[in-house]
Amino acid sequence: MADKLQELAERDGRYSLEAYLFVYESLTVAQKLFGRERHVSGKELLEGIKKLARERYGRMAKSVLNNWGVRATDDFGQIVFNLVNSDLLSKTDEDKLEDFHAVYDFEEEFISKYTIGTESSQESKAKSQESKLEGG
């Protein structure tokens, strides 16, 4: 599949191979995040992308994505639909390119809102509260 992705990235020319691979990795993250075994919506995929980008690249996430040619959530939509049109990903009849339009701002999500430990501390608090509610 890597060869097909490389060919797609070269043919399209807007996004690097890394951007396509990152979308595939983020799909798995989104499926886990939303408890799905298969399909996730565009907005759910974008949440998986945001989570993985923050975890992997921290405050550098925006710069890394920009380096791959990705400057907005709309670009991830273009990548997803390139994959769909190349039969490397499937979609439902409800899935639209517009689902990816301006869902969040990279500057805000990856720089302004980012603080070290934010993700893990919020998750820890949520798990602690769930445990208390369950009586554990």
- Predicted confidence (pLDDT) at residue 112 exceeds the cutoff of 90: no
pLDDT at residue 124, rounded to an integer: 46
The whole-number average pLDDT for the span 98-106 is 96
Among residues 62, 96, 50, which one has the least CA distance to residue 77? 96
pTM of the model: 0.82
DSSP string, 48-83: HHHHHHHHHHGGGHHHHHHHTT--SHHHHHHHHHHH
pLDDT at residue 126, rounded to an integer: 46
Task: Measure the CA–CA gap between 111 and 90, rounded to whole angstroms.
Answer: 32
Element (H, E) at 108: none
For residue range 46-86, what is the model confidence (pLDDT) as tens digits? Answer: 999 999 999 999 999 999 999 999 999 999 999 999 999 99
> For residue 135, what pLDDT band results from cuts at 50, 70 and 90?
low
Contacts of 108 by beta carbon, 8 Å cutoff, 6+ apart: none
Note whether 82 and 8 are within 8 A (CB).
yes
